[in-house]
Amino acid sequence: MIDYQKQIITAVKKVMPAVVSVIVAKDLKEIAADLPEEFYNLDPREQAFLESKLRQAPRDEHGRIKVGGGSGFLITKNGLILTNKHVIADPKADYSVITYDGKKHETKILARDPINDVAILKIDSGGKELPAVELGTAKNIELGQTVVAIGNALGEFQNSVSTGVVSGLSRLITAITDPLGHQQRLRGLIQTDAAINPGNSGGPLVDIEGRAIGINSAVVFGAQNIGFAIPIDQAEKDLEEIKKYGHIRRPFFGVRYMILNKSLQEKFNLPIDHGALIMNEGMPGDTAVVPGSAAEKAGLQEYDVILAFNKKNITEEETLEDLIASCKIGDKIDVEVLRNGKKLRTKIVLEEFLLHR
């Protein structure tokens, strides 16, 4: 037991200097413009009290108010940082990073992954070598393996360390990944009972050797000991894209869908038991088939059922998103569709995911 504890302590000491705080700050005018409708329904005295508190809130050297934050971790000695996309999702906010030595750095956002909850930041190292976390792999991790979640968000959760085990692999969850409340399906996640909280979200999930195998990402609220991390291998693919193209590229099909199950099969009186039912399950204003996408160009419609993609059946185990992720931009794909009880076949060309969509 003593040797086991020493291993964990050694791993934490190895990693902690490279774990950073990501600070989210906004001007008072921007904060006021984004106040929810519920604020204006409050009693005038309550409004005045909250406005007074907001005006008195501590400000940085540029007069901005801290409105949030999370963790991240350095992965190169010249200042590349990994964190969660949801930590830096607000386009109206300014972002800075505080390193373990207490120094504050202006931050450049290199990329937000359009599919995964991953973002890549860059700070100026000032010509110095910064501490960096060694990257491992999630490909060989096993159930029951010891892991450590580390964070360094300023405030309530500063220098957060929690231990646990890998309790699940290749998990699928739906998470909110931006300030507007948009939901996103996150796939292939590592499930752990190591406590994931707002302090260590964006920080590394490391093995007992101190190698990053994931990025702490999400927690199931209302459930005990259920946290999730993005496999580090997904982030490494993003880094390769950045180096090669200057941004993250992803193949894009252009449908919103639900995987067919018995309930949907009965509801829509469908004669098949597998596939992806095209329908809008997201925010109001979203369309089931994205305008201008490969799916629209191929004539796909809401309530079509995509049975097969690239000659592979779509199931709960191998979803449409999984199959798209296995393809490349520009690939010509055979698609089999069920529409009004009849099977149709068409071909599509996968395009690059564009953020303005």
Catalytic hit among 21, 71, 86, 96: 86
Alpha helices in 106-223 (DSSP H): none
Judge whether 201 counts as a catalytic residue: yes
**Separation of CA 213 from chain center:** 15
Catalytic hit among 21, 90, 96, 117: 117
> What does the radius of gyration of the chain's CA atoms come to, in whole angstroms?
22
CA 166, 132, 93, 56 torsion-angle sign: positive
SS (H, E, C) 271-312: CCCCCEEECCCCCCCCCCECCCCHHHHCCCCCCCEEEEECCE
Nearest to 213 by CA among 227, 234, 195: 234
Judge whether 117 counts as a catalytic residue: yes
196 phi and psi, to 5 degrees?
A: -105, 125
351-352 and 342-349 beta bridge pairing: unpaired
Nearest to 198 by CA among 186, 210, 216, 184: 216
Judge whether 326 counts as a catalytic residue: no
Catalytic hit among 160, 162, 167, 201: 201
Residues listed for the chain: 357
Q: What is the DSSP track for 177-193? A: -STT--EEEEEEEEEE-
Q: Side chain identity at 187, as an amino acid letter?
A: R
119-122 and 108-112 beta bridge pairing: antiparallel
Active site members: 86, 117, 201
